[in-house]
Amino acid sequence: MFNNLFLGELKKSFGKVFHLVFGLFFILVFALLTFSIHEMNEQLNLLDIPPEEDGETFTEEQVDLFILITETQIEVLEKQKKETGFSWYQSNYDQIYLAKASLKYYNYIKDNEMYGIPIDYYAGMDLSGIFMSGGKVTADGYIVQMLAIISSILMIYGIVIASGSFSKEYREGTIKILFLRPITRTKLLISKALSVLTLSSIAYVIGFILSVILGYSLFPTEYKDIIFSFGGGAFNLIRSDFQIFIAFFVYYIEMMSMIFIGFFMGTLLRNRIWGIVIPMLLSGIGQFIIYTGLARFFITDALNFSQYVGLHPVVTAGSNIFLSLGIYLFYMGGMAILTYFSVTKRDLA
Amino acid sequence: MTEVLRVENLYKTYGYKRGYLIKAVDNVSFSVNSGEVVGFLGPNGAGKSTTIKMIVGLATPESGNIYIMGQDIKKDRESAMKHVGGVIENPDLYKEWSAYDNLMYLKSLSVSKEDKNLSFKERLEKRKAEVIDILKVVGLDSRMKDKLGHYSLGMKQRLGIAQAIMDKPSLLILDEPANGLDPAGIKEIRDMLRRCAADLNMGILVSSHQLAEMELMCDRFLIIDKGRIISERNTSDLHNGIQVDGQNRSISVRVDRIKEAKVFLEELLGIEVEVYGDTLKLVTEKDIPYINKQLVLADYNVFGIEADRASLEDEYLKATSSPPKKT
């Protein structure tokens, strides 16, 4: 019976015109971007630019010096912070966090005695450095860029579907027929959430597969070893194309979180428009307060996990991975609980 | 006769307005038996819809109990709902789907115990056959592949009833089932509901403002006003004549020599008799055959003699003291 409920929810999501228009838009964006990036590479080929040298090389003395400088920098910054206290209006990047991450990076080189070896670093989701070779976009670079764009487009698609999942049933009165069937409201809620998850995931995976096929057939492949960090804490030496998978999950979580904010809001307020507007509004507010101390407590900043997967993290001031995780769980969990009670306990007007 | 629905001391408020507590439903109790059609009447805002919503779990009572086939809906709503079919307020279904797709989907959400042993294919075939059968019953089989967006209100009403009865529930709850139907459609729905009660032994609770139609359709009436049940009558009681008090009923007599007959009956029965044109009106505990016999023995020609029947409208207006508002 749950299968039927789930399949029914999938069927309901398929408004033919909407999917046709959206599918065409998606293909158009995909084709135009691929064409323009490919064309840019072709133009650069004509210029015959010599390939860039791979990464940076360090001597033992250099590394020791950098460690000393960075340790001093941290001391100064922490002293400054103690004296001035927390500022509500400041740079959006946490200077202390950044310095600590750099220190760990140099210590990693020292511990592994990686002297005289060209080392690349991966700077968050800043793709311009690592994924371009000789100024040209590589297959990895193309795929990660496409993932960023696909996730943004599908976020809108998912929010439109998710926000209407319950609210449309409330507006059109079909919810009464469903509530009269011998199914629990919890099962209905789960099946709706799963159908939103499934549809958005399928679309994202299709986009990913397409970009992988196009990336590896149209763009040059060049692998480098890069130092990767997670949350400014764990460091590892990985091959550059591994970043594709990191990007896949980071963008997926970000996209799905925004879609579910749309789902929760549309359901809670029983209104599709609010379900669409609120995630957009949150993004806007997130951008607006990024230079204030409030940003770290805000959901859009917390779900931006890309800030924690690079050597040079652009972590929001005063934040860290645990705070972001906590804030993320607080907001998403809170909305999920409220939505659950709204669906299962609230009266139908 | 099984009790399919029992409502006990249902109570719900809608908060305070200008310092007064708004009681939507105030201590409402009643029951519906199998094979019985019960009319649920009342002015707009009387508490009908709120009561119905509480019965089907769309609203939560502040206190009181609801039992469907003996199952407390607070404890096991899912099991209780297996016995319920209904159309609440409007027959809202998925308008972008066809009637067939709508019923196939809704039917798939309630798999009976026997069906669980069938294979997926067998279950699907059985579901298809049942859906087509029910569409035939409501006369929509020829348009079953049309999207609901192209349906008239009457067709939507019939489809709403089809989805409500397709699982042969023990309790059927319908809110304004005849809304938007033409006279032939109204008769069809009435006949269908009577058949559901008689043949399938369903207990049916119907809410409507169409009093004449309800009088033809229902076995019993509940009239609710300001959140309270203010009258409960059997249709047969209405048809047996106006009960003026516990024993006396109102009788009309058409007879010749009307002035003499008036005096004769006043002396015979010891009551006051009134003259309305060619008809005498009297209120007595004596039955019609007795009065008829006495008049004939006294050599009066009796053209007609009958108990005055109360209409549901009379009963409703008497109970609510205001005409029902049209919806």
Per-residue pLDDT of chain A (349 residues; tens, 9 = 90+): 668 888 888 888 776 677 888 889 989 988 998 898 888 878 877 776 666 666 678 899 999 999 999 999 999 988 888 887 666 555 667 788 888 888 888 898 899 888 888 776 554 444 444 445 556 778 888 888 889 889 999 999 999 999 999 999 999 999 999 998 888 899 999 999 999 999 999 999 999 999 999 999 988 887 777 777 777 777 777 777 788 888 899 999 999 999 999 999 999 999 999 999 999 999 999 888 887 778 888 998 888 888 887 645 577 877 888 999 999 999 999 999 999 999 998 888 7
Contact A172/B at CB under 8 A = yes
Residue B65 counted as domain residue: yes
Residue B327 counted as domain residue: no
Among residues B193, B215, B237, the one where a domain terminates is: B237
- Average pLDDT of the segment spanning B41-45: 86
Q: Is residue B267 domain-shared with residue B154, that is, in the same domain?
A: no
Lowest-pLDDT range of A154-168, A227-241, B70-84, B192-206? A227-241
Chain B residues with CB under 8 Å of A178 CB are 109
The residue segments making up the domain with residue B67 are: 3-237
Contact B311/A at CB under 8 A = no
- The whole-angstrom separation of Cα A289 and Cα A284 is 9
B215 vs B93, residue with greater confidence: B93
Interface A–B counts its CB contacts (< 8 A) at 65
Residue B312 counted as domain residue: no
Contact A349/B at CB under 8 A = no
Lowest-pLDDT range of A97-106, B194-203, B221-230? A97-106
A233-242, B244-253, B271-280 — most confident range: B271-280
A41 vs B133, residue with greater confidence: B133
Confidence band, pLDDT 50/70/90 cuts, at residue B121: confident
Q: Is residue B218 domain-shared with residue B267, that is, in the same domain?
A: no
Residue B67 counted as domain residue: yes
Q: Do A200 and A256 form a contact (C-beta atoms < 8 A)?
A: yes
Three-class DSSP labels, chain B:
CCEEEEEEEEEEEEEEECCEEEEEEEEEEEEEECCCEEEEECCCCCCHHHHHHHHCCCCCCCEEEEEECCEECCCCHHHHHCCEEEECCCCCCCCCCEHHHHHHHHHHCCCCCHHHHCCHHHHHHHHHHHHHHHHHHCCCHHHCCCEHHHCCHHHHHHHHHHHHHCCCCCEEEEECCCCCCCHHHHHHHHHHHHHHHHHCCCEEEEECCCHHHHHHHCCEEEEEECCEEEEEEEHHHHHCCCECCCCCEEEEEEECCHHHHHHHHHHHHCCCCEEECCEEEEEECCCHHHHHHHHHHCCCCEEEEEECCCCHHHHHHHHHCCCCCCC
Contact B273/A at CB under 8 A = no
Chain B residues with CB under 8 Å of A179 CB are 56-58
Q: Is residue B25 domain-shared with residue B153, that is, in the same domain?
A: yes
Domain count within chain B: 2
Q: Is residue B204 domain-shared with residue B129, that is, in the same domain?
A: yes
Identity of the residue in B57, B90, B109 whose CB atom sits nearest the CB atom of A1:
B109
Give the type of residue at A26: F
Chain B residues with CB under 8 Å of A4 CB are 105, 108-109, 111
Interface with B, mutate which of A6, A19, A177 (most B CBs under 10 A): A177
Question: Which domain CATH number covers B173?
Answer: 3.40.50.300
Tell me what ipTM this predicted complex has: 0.78
> Residue ranges of the alpha helices (H) in A112-173?
127-130, 139-172
Question: Which domain CATH number covers B298?
Answer: 3.30.70
Q: Is residue B77 domain-shared with residue B140, that is, in the same domain?
A: yes
Q: Is residue B44 domain-shared with residue B119, that is, in the same domain?
A: yes
Chain A residues with CB under 8 Å of B57 CB are 179
End-to-end alpha carbon distance in chain A: 28
pLDDT at residue B113, as a whole number: 72
Tell me whether residues B110 and A182 touch, CB distance under 8 A. yes
- The whole-angstrom separation of Cα B71 and Cα B105 is 26
pLDDT at residue A123, as a whole number: 44
Tell me whether residues A184 and B90 touch, CB distance under 8 A. no
Tell me whether residues A180 and B94 touch, CB distance under 8 A. no
Contact A17/B at CB under 8 A = no
pLDDT at residue A238, as a whole number: 77
Q: Is residue B266 domain-shared with residue B293, that is, in the same domain?
A: yes
Among residues B185, B203, B237, the one where a domain terminates is: B237
- The whole-angstrom separation of Cα A268 and Cα B56 is 22
- The whole-angstrom separation of Cα A125 and Cα A100 is 19
pLDDT at residue A86, as a whole number: 62
Chain A residues with CB under 8 Å of B109 CB are 1, 4-5, 8, 178, 181-183
Domain count within chain A: 1
Residue B326 counted as domain residue: no
Q: Is residue B221 domain-shared with residue B257, that is, in the same domain?
A: no
pLDDT at residue B2, as a whole number: 87
Tell me whether residues B89 and A173 touch, CB distance under 8 A. yes
Q: Is residue B206 domain-shared with residue B289, that is, in the same domain?
A: no
Identity of the residue in B60, B88, B105 whose CB atom sits nearest the CB atom of A176:
B88
Contact A181/B at CB under 8 A = yes
Q: Is residue B217 domain-shared with residue B265, that is, in the same domain?
A: no
Tell me whether residues B93 and A174 touch, CB distance under 8 A. yes
Characterize A99-124 residue by residue with b for buried, 16 or more Cβ atoms within 10 angstroms of its Cβ, and e for exposed.
Answer: bbbbbbbbebbbeeebeeeebbbbbb
Lowest-pLDDT range of A99-103, A254-258, B28-32, B124-128? A99-103
Q: Is residue B96 domain-shared with residue B170, that is, in the same domain?
A: yes
Residue B216 counted as domain residue: yes
Put simply, the chain B residues between 85 and 124 with a CB less than 8 A from any chain A CB are 85-86, 88-90, 92-96, 105-106, 108-111
Cβ partners under 8 Å of residue A58, min gap 6: A66, A109, A114, A115, A116, A119
> Residue ranges of the alpha helices (H) in chain A?
2-13, 16-47, 60-84, 95-111, 127-130, 139-172, 174-180, 185-218, 242-268, 272-288, 299-302, 321-345
Cα torsion angle, A260, A264, A270, A275, sign: negative
Confidence band, pLDDT 50/70/90 cuts, at residue B91: confident
Q: Is residue B258 domain-shared with residue B213, that is, in the same domain?
A: no
The residue segments making up the domain with residue A219 are: 2-345
Residue B34 counted as domain residue: yes
